Structure 1
Amino acid sequence: MKLDHTLTTERFLLLLLIILLVFFQRLGVTVGGMVVPLLFCLGMPIILLLFLFNRLLVDSRKFYLYIIALVCVLASSVYSLFISSTFSITSLLFLLVFYLPIIFIYKDQEHFYFLLSTFQKVMVFITVIGIFQFLFQFIGNFIDPFETLPPTVMLQGYNTHIPLVFGSPIFKSHGMFLLEPSFYSKFIATAIIIEFFYFKRMKLILLFVIGLLFGFSGTGIILLLLAGLPILFQMKFKQIAPIIALAIVPIYFFLTSDYGTLMIGRLEEFTNPESSAYIRFIAPYLAYTEFLQMQHISTIIFGTGPGTLDAYQGFTYTFNEDIPLKQAHSLAFIKLLIEYGLLGGIAFGTLILHAFFVNVHNKVLAFVMFVNYAVLSGALLEAVTFYLCYILGMMFTAQETVQKTKEVTDSYQSIYLIDQRR
């Protein structure tokens, strides 16, 4: 596929979004004692600029769902204001502003492949950097260009340096610029899926697979397996049989190798309450079940209030590492349901589900992005995960959706629209 590589102002803004998403995801700006992701601080203005220059439109359905979600979370917050001493108006406002981009979709498909191609080129660089970062440890030290920066400009709470096994001097690769090895793995898996559907360059897919292995994280492998399921279901047996035959030997060598033993051994983490797998994938649902059992019906409906999840503690589980109970990771939908109750949680969750799955340009990619957002990452206000999903999965939609939104957007923009003549 031949692409036009002319760098216009519009393409420069899209390029800047990708650069911020990948290379600056670990950086933040300290505001009122809280480190706000730099990706959010600069990404949001870029999106608004694209809207003001008439490149992004307001999707009418998403706009109405956003208004409904806004009203519901405000109603839940008003109730919780009277029962919670830890109510955070900052958390509420941040939630509403953070998800504002979800209502915007691109005006046309002209720059869709430019965006994907740019992401792929950046991921080739990150993959090579990640391979080098891992291998260089055997002759030198683990290289991390950000480790000398002050904590006031770095996002906190991420396991950036993870040993290969407990006590090992060798660390998993995170591509130097990414938050964790799991993010390195997930970003590469996303690049593999995009390459498979849109560009089909086998050499790059092979490079990405090699890079994925050096991340030693199962999250990227999970995404690839999930992406493969819809494809397999659409294939006939005579098409699947050769694939199975060709896969037998590599699978055997994988299972009998030290690498395979290491990765398979991680399955035991799902039964260990102190392991990251249990905390991220099992404990959140047990914690919410406990929440339903011990809370009053009004709290279940309206929630405990914005920003109160860290203060919550049940009989067995908590979402705060400083509380001496079993730990649970704050998955996005669990956080919504506890802080904003069924009223706000369902309304806001409906908006998110609609953005992920309605009128998307690629259903497989959308499904994988959703699993990444809701399960494998899960933080409701995690900028890197949301912007990855928005830029690659939501911003460009099925072409027929664009035509239906033009009249609505024109009415919104009539006062302040900047006419960019081409």
Structure 2
Amino acid sequence: MDTTLGSVGIERRWRGTATRQGTIVSSVLAAMLSSCLFLTRFALTVGKSELSLALVVVLCGTALLVLTGSIRISPSRLGLFGVAAATLLLSVMLSGGSQPSYMSFANLLLLYACWIFVVPDDRQFAMVITTVRRMLLIIAIAGILQFFAQVGIHSQTLFNWDVLPRAVISHGFNYVIPAPGLGGLNKSNGFFLLEPSSLSQMMAIAIILELEFYRVSWRIGVLAAALALALSGTGLVLFCAIVPLLLLRRGFGGVLLVAVPAVILLGLIVAGPKLALLLDRVQEFHSDQSSGFARFLSPFFLFSDFLYPHLQTTLFGMGPGAIETFTNKTAYLIHDPTWGKLIFEYGFLGAVPLSIFVGYCFFAGARSVWLASALFVNYLLLGGNLVDARLQAMILALVVLQNRPRDVRGATVRSVMPGAPMPRAPMPGVRTAAPGSHSPVRRVR
């Protein structure tokens, strides 16, 4: 977290009533978070296509914030987005694909147009962090209860929501995935989320959020249990990429020296005769029919087979929506990770400017580099998030709308400034910095 909050902690009570614009912003951000955590399975069926509810919430919510003057445009983001949009349009016009999806292209432009805005009130950051913390804890508890409830409730309805009409539920996701070696039990998907991998990713983000902004508490144990019961590698990838560095930064290097060997030893003891299954999972990258290969390696094979043979496709790609049409055209299993889909469909000419814009939105004036990094790794590597608003709703609420690019810092409503309402005494458990200190404060019980 940067110093825009000054000596004010992540949570403070403020005198006076909330402003009308502040209430609108709080409501919209809470709706965005709800759409990607509790309503992520719902979609509107339009012909043969599905329109995720998260996309509707993101676009309508951003439009409401614009119409009410509750958010500001960042000129630097606007300029970078203009360049990216122009090059993407050129790639669409010159792409090597035969039937580009203009709906996919329009979806991309509308979704990333929401990234040019900033919430001007600094106090919204504390609100949104507190809100998502509570939501993720509910998801964790739901995931734990779901896993153990299947022992007595022998029905896949716990995982796939078959009791609801198919017209309102998203399809094409693996809601029910058996847990290898656990006697017919299924991996937990958090009940509300799409897949076990979604639960594992959200729990990793929740643990990172706890370590960054709050004191260590029982919540981390609950989140870690839900992460383990998801039995998915994507959340562990995110956890291992960020958490050890975050612990070192907080001065817990000694904990790592004890915890890492202890976890390995415990895993070996618990795995016992099932250790071969674990080793098979680790070695699945050797199989071109495995999910690990499809998620992390298949784009390189797609590039080699279809992009690189021709200069036109290398520069301009195969056209928007093209990667989905190749699902049944290859002997190996493919997936559409964000970076792979972007390059494959828009070529390097379109991919580079959009990548610069996205990177700038994530990290320029970031409130928390750790939170931004966690969501960036998730966005870029762990799913097909290029035009999927489900994760982007969280990215917008927690990072993109909250960051402070240099060109908008002077226009923001700061937490402490001459003439502004003075904060009350800190809430119990909040630790504040000394007067004049520029070190951010973020440890809350």
Same fold (TM over 0.5): yes
Q: In the alignment, which of 115, 120, 127 is matched to residue 133 of structure 2?
A: 120
CA contact (8 A) 1:106 1:395 kept: yes
For 2:178, what is the secondary structure of its paired residue? coil
- How far off its partner does 1:213 sit? 1.1
Letter in 2 for 1:326: Y
CA contact (8 A) 1:332 1:379 kept: yes
Q: Find runs of 4+ consecutive structure 1 residues off by over 6 angstroms.
A: none
Q: Does 1:251 align with 2:257?
A: no
Q: In the alignment, which of 288, 294, 310 is matched to residue 324 of structure 2?
A: 310
Letter in 2 for 1:108: D
- How far off its partner does 1:404 sit? 4.9
CA contact (8 A) 2:137 2:223 kept: yes
Distance in 1 between the 2:98 and 2:305 partners? 22
Q: In the alignment, which of 81, 94, 109 is matched to residue 122 of structure 2?
A: 109
CA contact (8 A) 2:100 2:322 kept: yes
Write the deviation string for residues 206-253 of structure 1: whole angstroms up to 9, x where unpaired.
1111111111112222212111243366578xx624541354334311
Structure 2 stretches lacking a partner, 5+ long: 1-9, 413-445
Distance in 2 between the 1:247 and 1:88 partners? 47
Letter in 1 for 2:344: I
Higher relative contact order structure (alpha carbons within 8 Å, sequence separation ≥ 6)? 2
For 2:177, what is the secondary structure of its paired residue? coil
Q: Does 1:194 align with 2:204?
A: no
- How far off its partner does 1:286 sit? 2.5
Q: 1:150-165 residue pairs with structure 2 within 5 A?
A: 150-165=165-180
Distance 1:173 1:58, change over 3 A: same
- How far off its partner does 1:68 sit? 0.5
Q: Does 1:47 align with 2:53?
A: no
* Corresponding residue for residue 377 of structure 2: 371
Distance in 2 between the 1:139 and 1:281 partners? 37
Q: 1:160-179 residue pairs with structure 2 within 5 A?
A: 160-165=175-180, 168-179=183-194
Distance in 2 between the 1:342 and 1:247 partners? 40
* Corresponding residue for residue 419 of structure 1: none
- How far off its partner does 1:108 sit? 2.2
Q: Does 1:207 align with 2:222?
A: yes
CA contact (8 A) 1:60 1:405 kept: no
Q: Does 1:329 align with 2:335?
A: yes
Distance 1:9 1:353, change over 3 A: closer
Q: In the alignment, which of 145, 148, 165 is matched to residue 163 of structure 2?
A: 148
For 1:171, what is the secondary structure of its paired residue? coil
Higher percent of residues as helix? 1
CA contact (8 A) 1:69 1:347 kept: yes
CA contact (8 A) 1:227 1:365 kept: no
CA contact (8 A) 1:69 1:351 kept: yes
For 2:123, what is the secondary structure of its paired residue? coil
Q: 1:90-101 residue pairs with structure 2 within 5 A?
A: 90-101=103-114
CA contact (8 A) 1:270 1:278 kept: yes
For 2:136, what is the secondary structure of its paired residue? helix
CA contact (8 A) 1:68 1:347 kept: yes
For 1:35, what is the secondary structure of its paired residue? strand
Letter in 1 for 2:258: A
CA contact (8 A) 2:36 2:394 kept: yes
* Corresponding residue for residue 25 of structure 1: 40
CA contact (8 A) 1:332 1:378 kept: yes
Write the deviation string for residues 346-365 of structure 1: whole angstroms up to 9, x where unpaired.
12122112222222111122
* Corresponding residue for residue 300 of structure 1: 314
Distance in 2 between the 1:351 and 1:397 partners? 14
Distance 1:4 1:24, change over 3 A: farther
* Corresponding residue for residue 426 of structure 2: none
TM-score (norm 2): 0.82
Distance 1:144 1:345, change over 3 A: same
- Of residues 371-380 and 245-254 in structure 1, the stretch that sits farther from structure 2 once superposed is 245-254
Write the deviation string for residues 320-347 of structure 1: whole angstroms up to 9, x where unpaired.
1x33521221122222222212211112
Q: In the alignment, which of 396, 400, 405 is matched to residue 390 of structure 1?
A: 396
Letter in 2 for 1:299: T
| Paired positions, count | 393
Q: In the alignment, which of 143, 147, 165 is matched to residue 134 of structure 1?
A: 147
CA contact (8 A) 2:111 2:387 kept: yes
Distance in 2 between the 1:169 and 1:96 partners? 44
Distance in 1 between the 2:315 and 2:333 partners? 24
Letter in 2 for 1:133: Q
Distance in 2 between the 1:216 and 1:150 partners? 29
Write the deviation string for residues 83-129 of structure 1: whole angstroms up to 9, x where unpaired.
54312221211111121111111112111111111111111111111
CA contact (8 A) 2:365 2:404 kept: yes
Distance in 1 between the 2:388 and 2:194 partners? 11
Distance in 2 between the 1:233 and 1:291 partners? 43
State the superposition RMSD in angstroms. Answer: 2.5
* Corresponding residue for residue 414 of structure 1: none
Distance in 2 between the 1:263 and 1:357 partners? 36
Q: In the alignment, which of 209, 226, 237 is matched to residue 222 of structure 1?
A: 237
Q: In the alignment, which of 54, 75, 79 is matched to residue 90 of structure 2?
A: 75
Letter in 2 for 1:348: L
Distance 1:271 1:405, change over 3 A: farther
- How far off its partner does 1:390 sit? 2.1
Letter in 1 for 2:392: F
* Corresponding residue for residue 422 of structure 2: none
TM-score (norm 1): 0.86
Distance in 1 between the 2:311 and 2:201 partners? 38
